A and B are shown apart, each in its own frame.
Chain A
């Protein structure tokens, strides 16, 4: 059967306005705007959330530790990038996952001619060394939540109490009611 899924978008968020962006998960959506709405509904029911953005997975350049070790592509691009003029450069966002249990976190925003060139600069100049993987994507491919929308997107979740599923007696109660034969399945 053909894949009928919509494209995937990566979801990033931060819990305070001055905290770093972190990757949270992914959603399917027909376009960027719906991706942001889906991301809000899937990932922001719990406090705290201060901002969110989505980016098409197809727009992300990934380089894993293994890929970089096997293929010095990025280093080559860096040399090319340095050689050409900087007039056509764009801002790229660089993220890295540094350890297994940690998030893929914001590293830097770097102006470059291509995601490869931006990543090469990040590898050469930032404090992050040899992470599990790098991500680079053009800032223009991102759709972020608006500061003006924060009230309707994130504030309602703060008022909702969170109960773990085992705190609800519903399942046990339904079993008892069924056992008494009062309800049909």
Chain B
């Protein structure tokens, strides 16, 4: 049975899943072997977080937590995903990937801080357990953003180009999630805390925060990049629905 809490959890899961899938696309292609291992681990972490949120959503809806996550991931139409557009954009170059991951990890640590205190034991528990991992992700991506932004002329230019492209999409994170009620932290408050965290970090690395005009839309709207990514993610499961992984 659908509920606002389940809608909310699905949106949390979709952000993790889609970003995790994008991160997994670097597997075998990252700049050095060590980073390839590190970033593939991070991708697995994000996908694992999506599973935790989906299992919780299953409980809210009276669905089977063992089956529901796979159903949602492998058999849902792209239009039914509720992730932010920030996480669905193609990876671009390494500067783009690291800056996007930094921006989202920073947002997540703020969101998880707030969620750890909600009056819903399942949600608070999952948030607290995910938070540890996100703190490490944040440390990793901060280290990269700092070095790329302050590195060579080329890495600085690529970092600025990534920021210009990503910043308008990040504004979407301020909008309420589907099912967001008084019982969960307000996305707009989390966004303000996030801004206070990332703007000084970015400006200290001599990047310039771009002006933003216009509005990306809500989470029922997606860029043209999502559908092909979902098709790729779901290809094997749709060919062989009974497959055992």
Contacts and interface: CB of A to CB of B under 8 A. Distances in A.
A41 B23 CA distance: 15
Given A6-B32, A169-B244, A173-B243, 9 more contacts: A28-B32, A30-B147, A37-B38, A38-B35, A41-B37, A42-B38, A149-B139, A152-B135, A177-B236
B41 to A, nearest CB: 5
Interface stretch (A12-20, A117-125, A135-143, A153-161): A153-161
Counting chain A CB atoms within 10 Å of each CB, the highest count among B33, B41, B245 belongs to: B41
Nearest to B48: A160
Given A41-B41, A42-B38, A182-B240, A159 B129 contact: yes
B72 to A, nearest CB: 20
A168 B245 CA distance: 7
A155 to B, nearest CB: 6
B132 A156 contact: yes
B29 to A, nearest CB: 16
A61 B97 CA distance: 39
Contacts, number: 60
Interface of A: 6, 27-30, 33-34, 37-38, 40-42, 45, 149, 151-153, 155-156, 159, 168-170, 173-174, 177, 182-183
Contacts of A41: 34, 37-38, 41, 140
Contacts of A183: 235-236, 239
A38 B38 CA distance: 7
A30 B243 CA distance: 43
* 3 A-B pairs closest in CB distance: A41-B38, A38-B34, A152-B135
B243 A27 contact: no
A144 to B, nearest CB: 15
B240 A173 contact: yes
Contacts of B32: 6, 28
Contacts of A182: 239-240
Nearest to B134: A152
Given A27-B34, A37-B38, A156 B133 contact: yes
B239 A177 contact: yes
